[in-house]
Amino acid sequence: MASRDRTRTRPHASAAPASPATAAQLRHRRDTTPPRAGGRRARSFDNRGARGARHLITALVAALAALATPQADATPRPGLPAIRFQVGGNPDYTIQLSTWHQVWLRAMQLNPDTTVRGRETDLYGDVAIRRSRLMLQGQFDRLQIMLHAGINNQLTTADRKLGIHVHDAWGSFEVIREHLIIGAGLHYWNGISRMSNASTTTLLGLDTPTFTWPTIEQTDQVARQLGIFAHGTIGPLNYRLAANRPFSPPAPPRADGRTDFRPDAFTFAWAGYLQVYLRDPEPAVTPYTAGTWLGSRDVLNVGAGFYWHPGSMQRTGDDGVREIHDAVIGAVDVFLDRPIGTSGFAISHYSVAMVQQMGPGYLRAIGTMNPTSGTVDGAAGTIAGPGNSYPVIGTGWHLYSQVGLLAPARTITFQMQPYASSHVAFLEALRGVNATAELGMNWYLYGHNAKVTTTWRNRPVYGEAGTNLELQPITRANEWIMQLQIRI
């Protein structure tokens, strides 16, 4: 605040992450469409996928080489100004408005026996709205209030006129300046990992890897739960803790003996995340963690977190007796984001190792904005279902890593950032390794306020259900996605 010596910065909605001397920008979360059933015959997509990957890698290398020498006057603009209002002329009383859209143009190879609008299809393209949001935040000295609403996943193959729903609705009070803030409501102060609290408008990659939200749309509302939370920064330590009452799962538990969420689990869930700032501290006014600071900070953090929901999972054994299990999840991670000397380059890196214990053999497949209408009549389907679904969440170990290199500014409004990421999972329910890979490029026009992301993603395709191949990948499928993001 203007009248006090405080290290905590106020939120700011500029295009690129703010420098340490400016107010911190708001950062926002993300969500996913649940899976559907079905899918059977295996088609080989490997040749087309390999050719596409080679072409994309060549293009990325050529583009980076072309931008390696910046223009003499090419200092990038920090982004667009925030929409902020002072209340009563007091700089400590502010209201800030933010809005953004993420639009996807994509082409993708679908799982075997997928139907779209009733027709069997193995290749599909569309235009869709991944996210459209409106956020209102008020800061009144020690008091903070947040209201965040919008829509996700608007498809031409799904219902029109999606209902706007609430993402965040919470308030907090700063009990001890910077060190202890306590609040309650529908909130995003999650535990587990940095990526579990990610801002979906400052991501390095196209989207979050989803497994970092292990209860997504099962016992939460777009990665949020109702509860009380506390957070703060003490020296180099930044923490967040929450006690939540999770939502009831949207469907009855599975009847085939597989582990699923328990509808009568009347228990609280406990979550926490602790990170250590080894270099520059980061703003922590809002729950959203940055994916990349675009070289404006020198950040190195290590963190660890957990989520525990007692008695939240169940399965029916061979003897017909229901078994009750806890959902216990833990993770350790590291985040690096810094300029490389005075070269104009900057590196961004994030890695997380997570163990998910959600009951014996728990497995969930997810397809983001899945366009499918079902499977071909008579098809046995796959364990992942039709469309673009593949196993994402499940009991076992998950390893995820991403790295990006920001090139020097070519003009005052244009920068490029190639990136790569991978998710490798060793899941109890599957044989072998479940792996996905992604290569892409961020094209920044005004930092995170206006950017285009182009991505190639490669995912596993599993065998026919009921055969000895149902639990292992038999081929691969590819997705090509371009996202336009506009945020003010």
Model confidence at 23, in pLDDT bands (50, 70, 90)?
very low
Residue 4 lies in a domain: no
pLDDT at 185 over 50: yes
pLDDT of residue 59: 59
pLDDT of residue 81: 79
pLDDT of residue 351: 98
pLDDT at 483 over 90: yes
Question: Residue 119 sits in which domain range?
Answer: 11-487
pLDDT of residue 35: 42
| Residues 338 and 349: beta-carbon distance below 8 Å | no
Residue 5 lies in a domain: no
The percentage of residues in the chain with a pLDDT greater than 70, rounded to a whole number, is 84
Q: How many helices (H) and strands (E) does the chain have?
A: 1, 25
Residue 143 lies in a domain: yes
pLDDT at 318 over 50: yes
Mean pLDDT for the stretch of residues 130-158: 95
pLDDT of residue 39: 39
Of the candidate ranges 323-332, 378-387, 440-449, the one whose mean pLDDT is the lowest: 378-387
Model confidence at 33, in pLDDT bands (50, 70, 90)?
very low
pLDDT at 464 over 70: yes
What are φ and ψ of residue 325, in 5° steps? -135, 150
Q: Are strands 119-120 and 114-116 parallel, antiparallel or unpaired?
A: antiparallel
pLDDT at 6 over 60: no
pLDDT of residue 14: 37
pLDDT at 359 over 80: yes
Residue 90 lies in a domain: yes
Q: pLDDT higher for 162 or 26? A: 162
pLDDT of residue 158: 84
pLDDT of residue 4: 38
Mean pLDDT for the stretch of residues 320-326: 92
Residue 473 lies in a domain: yes
pLDDT at 367 over 50: yes
pLDDT of residue 377: 87
Mean pLDDT for the stretch of residues 336-361: 96
pLDDT at 128 over 50: yes
- How big is the CA angle at 100 (ends 98 and 102), to the nearest 5 degrees? 160
pLDDT of residue 52: 57
pLDDT of residue 10: 41
58-79 burial, b at 16+ Cβ within 10 Å, e below that, comes to eebeeebeebeebeeebebbbb
Residue 312 lies in a domain: yes
Residue 237's DSSP bridge partners are 234, 276
Mean pLDDT for the stretch of residues 450-475: 90
Distance CA 313, CA 30 (A): 24
Mean pLDDT for the stretch of residues 391-417: 93
pLDDT of residue 254: 85
Range ranked top by mean pLDDT from 28-32, 79-83, 340-344, 407-411: 340-344
Residue 140's DSSP bridge partners are 93, 143
Residue 3 lies in a domain: no
**413-438 tens-digit pLDDT:** 789 999 999 999 999 999 989 999 99
Mean pLDDT for the stretch of residues 226-253: 96
The pTM is what? 0.84
pLDDT at 261 over 80: yes
pLDDT of residue 88: 86
Of the candidate ranges 163-167, 277-281, 465-469, the one whose mean pLDDT is the lowest: 465-469
pLDDT of residue 55: 62
Helix (H) or strand (E) holding 65: helix 46-67
Distance CA 405, CA 419 (A): 7
* Domain count along the chain: 1
The CATH number linked to 81 is: 2.40.160.10
DSSP classification of residue 23:
P
Distance CA 9, CA 82 (A): 14
Mean pLDDT for the stretch of residues 307-334: 94
Model confidence at 66, in pLDDT bands (50, 70, 90)?
low
Distance CA 371, CA 40 (A): 17
Helix (H) or strand (E) holding 187: strand 180-187
pLDDT of residue 186: 98
**193-203 tens-digit pLDDT:** 999 999 999 99
| Residues 470 and 486: beta-carbon distance below 8 Å | no
pLDDT of residue 428: 95
Tokens of 371: 């366009």
User: What average pLDDT is seen over the chain?
Assistant: 87
pLDDT at 271 over 90: yes
| Residues 458 and 473: beta-carbon distance below 8 Å | no
Mean pLDDT for the stretch of residues 384-392: 95
pLDDT of residue 61: 57
Mean pLDDT for the stretch of residues 99-106: 98
Residue 6 lies in a domain: no
| Residues 375 and 38: beta-carbon distance below 8 Å | yes
Model confidence at 20, in pLDDT bands (50, 70, 90)?
very low
**Residue 300 one-letter amino acid:** L
pLDDT of residue 63: 54
pLDDT of residue 397: 98
Tokens of 338: 């810094």
Q: Distance from first CA to last CA of the chain, Å, rounded? A: 24
